[in-house]
Chain A
């Protein structure tokens, strides 16, 4: 059974606005991706069975392709899609980072009202993954949550001093 990564965060905007930021391609391109990356949406068909195809350009001139295949959209509360690395032809591709990063990640995003703000709960889980992909995901999971937990404080310091 595959592991699951979850992250929850509150955004200072009403739900409809936050939903729009995820489901309007021009808006999605403005924020999706690591810092320093510019995201360009090549095609977007944001409804069940449709897909968003995009590339992300890094400051070092690198280009990564990504693909979201939508399963479920229930505005403004639930969005479910399959997240993959891709290529210019919109095929599913392996991770450019190397290692056995899962080729397909099921992404579930729940949008909840919290006063005037919106809480997003996102979960990521490999699907149709090999054992090696599931292992790589499990290993990365703790780090994705912002550190490897209390027992790794010393380790974090050692690695940072470099």
Chain B
């Protein structure tokens, strides 16, 4: 059984899905609106949207005809906190290496 963070990360592992998330950050959008920039088929975009929904990263609005998709920002924040911990390792280590090398300049 996958935990919810694993589902989110698997959902975000695909560049098209990351781009969909970025687009939804600008505001909700219908399937047609989301499909347009990618030039991929309706079934393909629907598959991506299903994966993002199952991961809890997006949700559907209730507008009868168009059912726009919306980003669930709190759900996304959980995975970015995780990413930041990982990003911090090399970014911080290199900053600290910089300082360490500067200290030893008189050796």
Residues of A participating in the B interface, judged by any CB pair closer than 8 Å:
7, 9, 11-13, 17-18, 21, 27, 30-35, 97-101, 120, 122, 132, 134-136, 138-140, 142-144, 146, 148, 151-152, 154-155, 158-159, 162
Residues of B participating in the A interface, judged by any CB pair closer than 8 Å:
2-3, 5-6, 9-10, 12-13, 18-19, 21-23, 25-26, 73, 76-77, 79-80, 82-102, 104-105, 107
* Cβ A136 vs Cβ B22 within 8 A: no
Cα distance, A97 to B3, chains bound together (Å): 12
Can you show 22 pairs from A to B with CB atoms below 8 A apart? A9-B94, A12-B102, A13-B104, A17-B101, A30-B96, A31-B97, A33-B89, A98-B5, A98-B82, A99-B6, A132-B10, A135-B13, A139-B9, A140-B83, A143-B87, A148-B22, A151-B22, A151-B23, A152-B22, A154-B22, A154-B26, A159-B76
Partner of A97, one of B13, B82, B100: B82
B22: A residues at CB distance < 8 A:
148, 151-152, 154-155
Known: A144-B86, A146-B87, A155-B25. A99 touches B100 (CB 8 A): no
How close is B10's CB to chain A, nearest CB, in angstroms?
5
How close is B25's CB to chain A, nearest CB, in angstroms?
4
